[in-house]
């Protein structure tokens, strides 16, 4: 309730100055390529300031995500008696609810501005997990079976709202942020978000390992903290300018849906991401469960492992953005996909000894986070740069939702298979091994399919892979040293490129500044 009151209050205070401007026709002032109603010119942040705010808000949003959907949530489900099927459903929800992005795209084409719809639905999304997480603590007399399904239902609603609002936000950013230097900017944003994720995980580790709180008490506290920072996150966008939606010329829902699939480059991207989600979701949802049940790690050790992985991504995210800006999104996507089988191989080779497992998996998880950062930056860059302003929301939805549906179904089916295999095998680890091997094989197939992704004016993947490794391909075994050498050698290039990263012309900044 406190979060709701805080969110509403902050939003009304920040947005009241230009609410009416979004809902009436006024003569627009053209500034730096964007059209601003006259009474909004002095109320929005200049673009350089807004970009910093977008990074800060992204960090708060990442903190919310890590505090509410980390490995602690899986331990919470296990504490309530959840099985492999429940874990599979939980793992499927983030991608299985992506179909709502199509509905979001249809709705967005009928809006003039996206901000208010995005705000209210995101506010609900940031608060909905807290009541069901606190239920077993506040009402212990209610059966744990009820709370397991209530938690899954609350998570499903949470993820559904995330995926309905994501295309609204992404299309807003695609219309607002300059495309020149966008991948580099996204890399900087990803850097700070990953550091925030690592810090948030450390907080979670301290709550779970540094206190005597049970998971039934610890998770509601983490979810409450997450709700507070999550609400602040969305309120920061009240003064980030929003260009109006560019509607598609045809109001037909069928024409809106067909658009991305008639686009050759986008069709190739959708084809790859769909298979990639199938390959990844055969094993990814069960990694934390495997580490807890088979390897024997504590929940604190698992979360510390994920914290180290976020650090790995944070160290190179800015550099990944530089690579995507220099060589293109497609080469970065190819290079990272080629190396993404490493985590499944590491898990299969990890013994059931917590100390040895941590020594093996920390570098494996850090490398995997590096690759995840590259894939995230490449995917976002591809979606924003290759989607037309008209029907942009549908292009973004199609670029993620189809793959999400396939990944969600895969995770649920794999979770059911895990439960069945565990009942038929005397060794509980066998079921996990089967899923990890299947995921490994499909990831290797993905490494071939990614070559079919099309993007205009991009380099071949070999220079990107060489830069990523830091040495020639014949010396790949020097990867850690090469990565460090390449990262340090790129710093001068990044510093020299700052002058070219002027996101907004001087006349725009002066016109939008508030005296």
Per-residue pLDDT tens for 348-367?
999 989 999 999 999 999 99
- pLDDT for 19 equals 37
User: Taking the model in full, what pTM does it have?
Assistant: 0.66
- pLDDT for 208 equals 79
- Report the CATH number of the 2-12+29-469 domain: 1.20.1250.20
- pLDDT for 459 equals 52
> What span, in angstroms and rounded, lies between the C-alpha atoms of 204 and 510?
43
- pLDDT for 458 equals 57
- pLDDT for 181 equals 83
- pLDDT for 385 equals 79
- pLDDT for 11 equals 43
- pLDDT for 1 equals 45
| Residues of the chain falling short of pLDDT 70 | 1-42, 71, 95-96, 248, 250-251, 456-515
Calculate the alpha carbon distances from 312 to 197, 299, 366, 373, 477 in Å. 11, 20, 4, 9, 19
- pLDDT for 37 equals 52
Q: Which residue has the tokens 């012309």?
A: 505
Which candidate, 482, 343, 451, 319, places its Cα nearest to that of 474?
Answer: 482
Burial bucket for residue 322 (CB in 10 Å: 0-12, 13-18, 19+): buried
> What span, in angstroms and rounded, lies between the C-alpha atoms of 106 and 103?
5
Which candidate, 489, 472, 457, 499, places its Cα nearest to that of 319?
Answer: 489
- pLDDT for 408 equals 79
């Amino acid at each position: 309730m406190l979060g709701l009151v805080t969110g509403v209050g902050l939003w009304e205070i920040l947005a009241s100055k230009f609410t009416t401007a979004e809902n009436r026709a006024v003569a627009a002032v053209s500034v730096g390529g964007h059209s601003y109603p006259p009474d909004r010119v002095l109320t929005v942040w200049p673009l350089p300031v807004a970009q910093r705010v977008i990074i800060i808000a992204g960090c708060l949003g990442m903190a919310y995500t890590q505090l509410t959907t980390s490995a602690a949530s899986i331990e919470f489900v296990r504490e309530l008696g959840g099985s492999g099927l429940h874990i599979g459903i939980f793992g499927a929800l983030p991608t299985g609810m992506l179909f709502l992005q199509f509905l979001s795209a249809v709705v967005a084409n009928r809006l003039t501005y996206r901000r208010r719809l995005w705000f209210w639905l995101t506010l609900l999304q940031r608060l909905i997990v807290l009541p069901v997480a606190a239920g077993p603590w506040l009402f212990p007399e209610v059966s744990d079976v009820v709370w397991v399904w209530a938690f899954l239902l609350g998570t499903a609603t949470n993820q559904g709202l995330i995926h309905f609002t994501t295309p609204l936000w992404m299309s807003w950013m695609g219309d607002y942020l300059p495309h020149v230097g966008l991948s580099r900017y996204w890399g900087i944003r990803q850097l700070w978000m990953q550091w925030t994720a690592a810090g948030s995980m450390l907080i979670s580790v301290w709550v779970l390992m540094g206190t005597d709180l049970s998971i039934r008490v610890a998770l509601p506290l983490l979810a409450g903290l997450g709700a507070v920072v999550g609400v602040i996150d969305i309120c920061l966008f009240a003064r980030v300018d929003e260009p109006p939606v560019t509607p598609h010329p045809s109001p037909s829902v069928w024409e809106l849906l067909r658009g991305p699939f008639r686009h050759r480059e986008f069709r190739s991207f959708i084809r790859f991401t769909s298979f990639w989600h199938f390959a990844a979701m055969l094993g990814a949802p069960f990694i934390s469960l495997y580490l807890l049940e088979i390897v024997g790690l504590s929940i604190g050790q698992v979360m510390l492992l994920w914290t180290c992985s976020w650090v790995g991504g944070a160290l190179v995210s800015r550099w990944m953005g530089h690579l995507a800006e220099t060589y293109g999104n497609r080469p970065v996507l190819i290079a990272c996909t080629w190396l993404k089988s490493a985590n499944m191989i590491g898990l299969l080779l990890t013994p059931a000894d917590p100390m040895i497992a941590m020594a093996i998996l920390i570098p494996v998880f850090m490398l995997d986070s590096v690759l995840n950062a590259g894939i995230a930056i490449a995917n976002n860059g591809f979606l924003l740069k290759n989607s037309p302003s008209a029907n942009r929301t549908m292009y973004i939805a199609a670029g993620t939702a189809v793959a999400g549906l396939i990944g969600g179904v895969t995770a649920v089916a794999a979770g059911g298979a895990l439960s069945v295999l565990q009942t038929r095998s005397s060794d509980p680890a066998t079921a996990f091994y089967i899923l990890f091997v299947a995921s490994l094989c499909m990831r290797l197939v993905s490494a071939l399919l990614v070559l079919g992704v099309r993007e205009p004016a991009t380099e071949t993947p070999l220079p990107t892979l060489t830069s990523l490794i830091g040495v020639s391909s014949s010396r790949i075994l020097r990867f850690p040293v090469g990565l460090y050498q390449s990262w340090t050698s790129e710093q001068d290039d990044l510093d020299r490129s700052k002058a070219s990263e002027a996101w907004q012309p001087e006349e725009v900044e002066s016109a939008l500044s508030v005296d």
